[in-house]
Amino acid sequence: MKQVIYLITILSALVSLMVGCQEDPALYTEADGVYFGTKDTIVNYSFAKYPQKKSDTILVPVNVLGNAGSSDRNFQVEIVKDDTLYSGIEGVHFKLAENVVIPAKAVVGTLPVIVYRTLEMEAGKVVNFAIKLKKNTNFPADGIARGQKLNINLAYIQMPATWGEFTGTITGNFAGYRDNFGTWTPTKYKLILDALYDKETGTTITEFPGSRFSPPIIYNQYVAVVRNYIKTNYPGNYGKPGPILTDPDNSNLPIQVGPANY
């Protein structure tokens, strides 16, 4: 019995010695790097959802491929210069925040990108630019390859892909059908955005995806809201005394919806 106890004691001592001699495993032994944490390599931003805003800030997540630091660590971003691919101009269409950091004890940071609504966006143009991460002493290694560059597209007045046509015989989509909003034009679209604007949230309704045959009930309510908005603000559009809003994008016709006159 004493021999058994003696052997157990010896084995326990050897195991303790072996464990004590092992080094603590490192979570990540390579140099740290950073990468954009967006779901895709392209970010599409539309001012249509925020019709009262002339500028906004896109918060781009930036992740660390590596370990958290004991103090704040700045990271660097640069603009991709290529006039043949990108129309965005720094200071006119966008501005990058300065002195951006990954906070202490964290592996996720944020890059604020300020974007501006301009006249060409109101005329239907899409403005684009690209940014990429740049190595520095805090993050000298490559992060995830696909997350090193980010393309950003800015727009305002763009016809939604789900709009549909006036007759409703091709796509059968709800918005463009004659009983609803009718043919899409920039002027009519701006009117719809203003009519459906919610002051509390600062947002509006920009799309109405779905079939005209079985639309969500709220879609018909949206049409009614826009129609009442026109009747209140532009009674002349419905033959009443008062202001008239005509559409320069469609023969200067007065705008009517639910049903639409064009």
Q: Which of these ranges, 21-35, 89-103, 163-177, has the smallest mean pLDDT?
A: 21-35
Distance of alpha carbon 121 from alpha carbon 142, whole angstroms: 35
Would you tell me how many other CB atoms lie within 10 Å of the CB of residue 146?
Answer: 10
Taking residue 45's Cβ as centre, other Cβ atoms within 10 Å add up to: 18
Q: How far is CA 143 from CA 69, 148, 211, in A?
A: 16, 7, 44
Identify the three-state secondary structure at position 245.
coil
What dihedral angle (degrees, nearest 10) is formed by the CA atoms of 12, 14, 16, 20? 180
| 3 burial level (CB within 10 Å; 0-12, 13-18, 19+) | exposed
Mean pLDDT of the chain: 91
User: Which pLDDT band holds residue 49 (cuts at 50, 70, 90)?
Assistant: very high
pLDDT at 29 over 90: no
Q: Are strands 73-74 and 101-102 parallel, antiparallel or unpaired?
A: antiparallel
Q: Are strands 42-46 and 149-155 parallel, antiparallel or unpaired?
A: parallel
What's the confidence (pLDDT) of residue 26?
A: 52
Q: What mean pLDDT is predicted for residues 9-29?
A: 49
Asked whether the predicted pLDDT for residue 64 surpasses 60, the reply is yes
In the prediction, which pLDDT does 174 show?
98
pTM over 0.85: no
